Structure formats: C-alpha cells, structure tokens
Amino acid sequence: MPLFKNADAARETAMLAFTIRRALQALGVLLAVGIIAFAMFRFAGDPVNQIVSIDTPAAEREEVRRSLGLDDPVPVQFGRYFLRAAQGNFGISYQFRQPVAQLLIDRMPATLELAFCATVFALTFGILMGVYSALRRDSLLSKLFQAVSLVGISLPTFLIGILLIYLFSVTLGLLPSYGRGDTVRLGWWTSGLFTLSGLKALIMPSITLGLFQMTLIMRLVRAEMLEVLRSDYIRFARARGLKTRAIHFGHALKNTLVPVITIAGLQLGAIIAFAIITETVFQWPGMGLLFVQAVQNVDIPIMAAYLLLVAAIFVTINLIVDILYTVVDPRLRSTLRQPV
C-alpha cells in the first residue's frame, strides 16, 4: 500500500513540474509570436493612410502618426504593446475606435459556434464514412466516399464555399448566402443555435470549414481500422466466436478512436484559426473576418491581439492534449519525468 502512495505522489510532482514547464514554454511561444508579428507589421502598409482620407494634409497625418507612437522604433512599439497587453489592455482599434478586447469578445461566439458545428460535422461523418469504407472496402459507396474525400482535400475552401452558395442560395434558394441569421443573447454570448434562420445559416459554413477535417478523419479511421482488423487480438476475438458486430464496434473501433480523438482535438485549434477563409466567404461575423478586415486596413491593434489569441488557443489545446495523453495511455506517464 505505501508503495502505491509514493508512486501517486511522485506522479503528481512530475505532473506539476510538467505543467509548469509547459506553461513557461507557452509564455515563450506567445512572446515569439508577438515579436514576429511586430516585425511583420511594417510590411502590411501604413496604418495612417487607412485612418485618414487621402486628401488629408501631411501635417495632420504626421500628427496622427506621432499620437499613435508609430514613429518610434519597432522594439519600443513592441515593448509598449506587450506591457499594456500584460495588463489586459489590448488597445483601441484604429478603424472602429472600440476596445480590441471587446471587439474580439463580441465576435468570439460566432467563430466558436462555427468551429464547434464544423467539428461535430467532421467527426460524425468522418467516423461513419471511415468505418464503412474500412469494413466494406470494395463496395461502390466506399469508392464514392474515397472520391469525395479526394475532393475535400484538393479543392480550396473558398471555392467549396462559393459553389455551395451558388447551388443552395442562388439556384435553390434554400439557405442564406451570408451572415449568421438571427441570434439570441445568452449573457455575453450570442447564439445562432436556437433560431431557425441561425441554424440554416450554420449549415453551409460548417460544411465548408469541416470538409477538410472530415476527409482527414475518414481516411485516418479507415487506415487505422484496417490495421486494427489485421491485429492479433481481433483474430483471437474472432477465434473465440464473438459476434462480428461486437468485434467491429466493441473492439476495433474503440481502439481506432484514440488517435482520432487526438487529431480532432488538435484540429479544433486549426479550425478556429483557419475559419478566416470560411468567414470571409460567408461574411460570417467572427474573429477571422475581423482579422482579414484588419489586415486590409492595417489595423495593428486587432492584428496583434488576434495573433496572440490564436497562439494562446493553440498552446492551450496542445497542453490539454498532452495532459490527456497521460490520462488515456498509462505508458506515456514514464516520459513525464524526462525533460521535453
């Protein structure tokens, strides 16, 4: 018994050290993203041109430039920004004259809901199609799935989006071509999940955003499943005379899902970050659209805050996945003690 306690304590210490180490790494990542972002901003154009009209006298322009601190050297600008950001002040958007944090919070529900729906779509159809095409490898439907997955991987997101719009909005008139439809307010969160027009508006953007993930998951499930089905324990299970159904779904699929969950988790970050294109095509009022508009208008406060936010999302998801690994797979725990 005491042996167990010791092991538990050691594991907890290791876990704590691991978490602290990862948190420090996360800070480093954020700092690096900030430095790279600030180094890139001067190639984005001159923000002053977007703040004032073209016929604005030069003296007035210089006044704006000076008041924004844009005439300071880049390291000074970066330092000032980071000091403020560390205190939770992300500044005021040049174009909207609103606090950036508020703008991002206002836009966040749209992006997260879209990402959530896209993930659900990708997981549901990806797993179903993957399992089917692994079990009935030679059927016509499997070949169709394979073909669809090829389309999903090779067609660019914006093209899929526009094709959907022309088919379902312009030609058939079934679904809205832009926006979120009507939303309901739940505290600070706005949701389109509770109105008919909101749900309708979610369909095409979710498919567009989730299609790549769906094909990825489908191919992953198929490959994993085929491999698992060949393994010894499945053969033993067959030899024991278990029902095919139990073997396929009780044993094979369960073992297939471990890497799928990992990928899906990691992909969630990608879906949030790369919703930019889908949001642009569907005029989806999320953070990605805000970012694209900010790039076009050289709105540095929004660009900087968005990049930091996305970096933070990635770091957090990776951290959670790393920790979950050790929970799911006891064999990985031993690696915790070694420095990463």
Partner 1 sequence: MPLDRGLRAFYGTRPEGEAAFLASKIAVSRNKSPASQSRGLPAENDRMLKRSLLLAATAAAFLSATALGAGAATVRYANQGDLKSLDPYTLNETTTNAHLGNVYEGLTSRGKDLAIGPGLAERWEMLEGGKRWMFYLRKGVKFHNGNDFTADDVLFSADRVRAQGSNFLTRVPKDAKFTKVDDYTVEVTLPTPNPIMHYQWDTWYIMDKEWAEQNNATAPTPASAQTPGHAALNTNGTGPFRIESHQPGVRTVFKANPTWWNDAKKEHNITEVIFTPIGNDATRVAALLSGEVDIIEPVPIQDIARINASPNARTLTGPEVRTIFLSFDQVRDELLSSNVKGKNPFKDKRVREAFYKAIDIETIKSRVMRNLATPSALMIAPEFFPLSKEFTRPKYDPDGAKKLLAEAGYPNGFEVGMNCPTDRYVNDGEICQAAVGMLARVGIKINPIFEPKAQYFAKVLKAGGYQTSFYLLGWTPGTGDPHNVLYDIMGCRDNPQSTRGESNLGGYCNKKLDELTDKILVEADASKRTGMIAEAFKIGNEDFGYIPLHQQALAWGVSKKFSIPQRADNEILFYWARKE
Instruction: Scan residues 11-40 and list those touching partner 1 (CB under 8 A).
Output: none
Q: Does the protein bind partner 1 through residue 184 (CB under 8 A)?
A: yes
The Cβ-side half-sphere exposure at 121, using a 13 Å CA radius, reads 20
Q: By CB under 8 A, is residue 268 in contact with partner 1?
A: no
Task: Return the half-sphere exposure (C-beta side, CA atoms, 13 A cut-off) of residue 260.
Answer: 28
Binder to partner 1 among 26, 31, 96, 155 (CB under 8 A)? 96
Among 30, 33, 51, 134, binds partner 1 (CB under 8 A): 51
Instruction: Measure Cα distances from 273 to 243, 286, 289 in Å.
Output: 43, 11, 11
Contact (Cβ atoms closer than 8 angstroms) between residue 135 and residue 248 = yes
Residue 317 interacts with partner 1 (CB under 8 A): yes or no: no
Sign of CA dihedral 202, 208, 209, 213: positive
| Residue 283 DSSP SS3 | coil
Please select the residue that binds partner 1; options are 109, 130, 198, 205, rule is CB under 8 A: 198
Judged by CB under 8 A, the chain residues 276 through 305 that form the site for partner 1 are: 276-277, 280-283, 285, 289-290, 292-293, 295-298
Q: Does 179 sit near partner 1 (CB under 8 A)?
A: yes
Interface residue with partner 1 among 30, 33, 85, 103 (CB under 8 A) is 103
Is there binding between residue 338 and partner 1 (CB under 8 A)? no
Phi, psi of 302 (to 5 degrees): -70, -45
Q: Read off φ and ψ for residue 182, nearest 5 degrees.
A: -90, 140
| Least distance from partner 1 to the Cβ atom of residue 19, Å | 22
Stretch that binds partner 1, among 27-35, 88-96, 114-122, 123-131 (CB under 8 A): 88-96
108 touches partner 1 (CB under 8 A): no
CA-closest candidate to residue 258, choices 211, 225, 215: 225
Q: Which of residues 132-161 bind partner 1 (CB under 8 A)?
A: 156-159
Amino acid at residue number 2 = P
Note whether 269 and 317 are within 8 A (CB). yes
224 in contact with partner 1 (CB under 8 A): yes
Q: Is 220 a residue that touches partner 1 (CB under 8 A)?
A: yes
Nearer to partner 1, 17 or 159 (CB): 159
| Least distance CB 126 / partner 1 (angstroms) | 12
In this chain, which of 37, 68, 207, 209 binds partner 1, going by CB under 8 A? 68
Instruction: Report the residue from 194, 233, 236, 249 that binds partner 1 according to the rule CB under 8 A.
Output: 194
**H-helix segments, 42-166:** 47-51, 58-67, 74-86, 100-135, 140-154, 157-164
- Per the CB < 8 A criterion, the answer to whether 137 and 316 are in contact is no
Complex with partner 1: residue 87 or 338, whichever CB lies closer? 87
Chain centroid to Cα 79, Å, comes to: 28
Which lies closer to partner 1 via its Cβ, residue 242 or residue 262? 262
323 sits near partner 1 (criterion: CB under 8 A): no
